[in-house]
């Protein structure tokens, strides 16, 4: 447990970053009016922001939805939920069939959150779906056009190198996520998420693909300074992060996941 001084420093740092992000997102993260009067949408937003707290039975690590979908799913460069929701049902290469938005949420719990899928008709999936629907409706009303997924990243000039990535990580990432990749927290709250180890995403998560991790890093990291890393650095640090140990993918899906791992430096999701 960190000291109160350490906790204060972490929270002040995070607040400063959020202030920067507010100018880059289409809706301020603290604007509560979006969910006013709708308990289901509000519950979905709470689950999205603090998944382990509000959906603890289904989460097996220290991550929340908002760690990948920054700014409570509203940040333009971090797979905004409002851009994803209207595309479902959508074909899933992993499942080799069309899946619903609710099924996609279930997969997030299995892989990114290293947990178990909540029931399709349960309160967690229902609330998260309501939240995503509201974000999508707001985007249409505000005439905001957001791109699904992460921005495309140019191919790496050189093959991604975990060794070079280790240097990038030490210089640009470790101050927040820790030298051991375990993240940082204060008073029981995860402030900067773990990037590898037992408390991070498992090997079946989309982020476990180097191309996906590199695209996310290039667009969003360091937090509040997205777009500042050269593409090669993003590829290298993505390769380094995903060369570290993490929980295995659920056994029954492992072979399908491995069959679709990109073999070149082209960005795949």
70 found inside a domain: yes
188 found inside a domain: no
253 found inside a domain: no
146 found inside a domain: no
110 found inside a domain: yes
What is the per-residue pLDDT across 214-237, written as a single tens digit (0 to 9) for each?
999 999 999 999 999 999 999 999
Q: Tokens 């420093």: give the residue.
A: 9
Contact 38, 134 (CB under 8 A): yes
What is the per-residue pLDDT across 30-80, written as a single tens digit (0 to 9) for each?
445 555 569 999 999 999 999 999 999 999 999 999 999 999 999 999 999
Q: Tokens 């499942």: give the residue.
A: 95
Tally of domains in the chain: 1
71 found inside a domain: yes
123 found inside a domain: yes
Find the domain containing 116 and state its range. 25-141
CATH code for the domain in which residue 137 is found:
1.10.760.10
124 found inside a domain: yes
| Rounded average pLDDT over 148-175 | 96
Which pTM does this prediction carry? Answer: 0.82
């Amino acid at each position: 447990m960190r000291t109160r001084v350490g906790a204060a420093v972490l929270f002040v740092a995070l607040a400063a970053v959020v202030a920067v992000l507010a100018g880059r997102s289409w809706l301020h993260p603290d604007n509560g009016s979006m969910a006013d009067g709708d308990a289901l949408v509000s519950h979905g937003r709470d689950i999205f922001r603090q998944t382990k707290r509000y959906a603890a039975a289904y989460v097996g690590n220290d991550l929340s939805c908002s760690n990948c979908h920054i700014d409570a799913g509203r940040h333009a460069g971090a797979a905004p939920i409002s851009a994803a929701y209207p595309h479902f049902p959508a074909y899933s290469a992993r499942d080799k069939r069309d899946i619903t938005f609710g099924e996609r949420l279930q997969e997030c719990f299995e892989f990114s959150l290293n947990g178990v899928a909540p029931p399709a008709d349960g309160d967690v999936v229902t609330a998260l779906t309501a939240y995503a629907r509201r974000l999508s409706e707001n985007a249409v009303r505000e005439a905001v056009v957001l791109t699904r997924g992460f921005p495309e990243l140019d191919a790496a000039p050189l093959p991604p190198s975990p060794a070079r990535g280790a240097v990038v990580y030490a210089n640009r990432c470790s101050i927040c996520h820790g030298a051991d990749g375990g993240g940082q927290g204060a008073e029981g709250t995860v402030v900067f998420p773990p990037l590898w180890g037992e408390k991070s995403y498992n090997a079946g998560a989309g982020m476990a693909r180097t191309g996906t991790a590199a695209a996310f890093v290039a667009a969003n990291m360091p937090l509040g300074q997205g777009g500042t890393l050269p593409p090669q650095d993003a590829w290298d640090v993505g390769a380094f992060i995903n060369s570290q140990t993490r929980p295995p993918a659920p056994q029954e899906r492992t072979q399908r996941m491995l069959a679709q791992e990109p073999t070149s430096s082209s960005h795949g999701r």
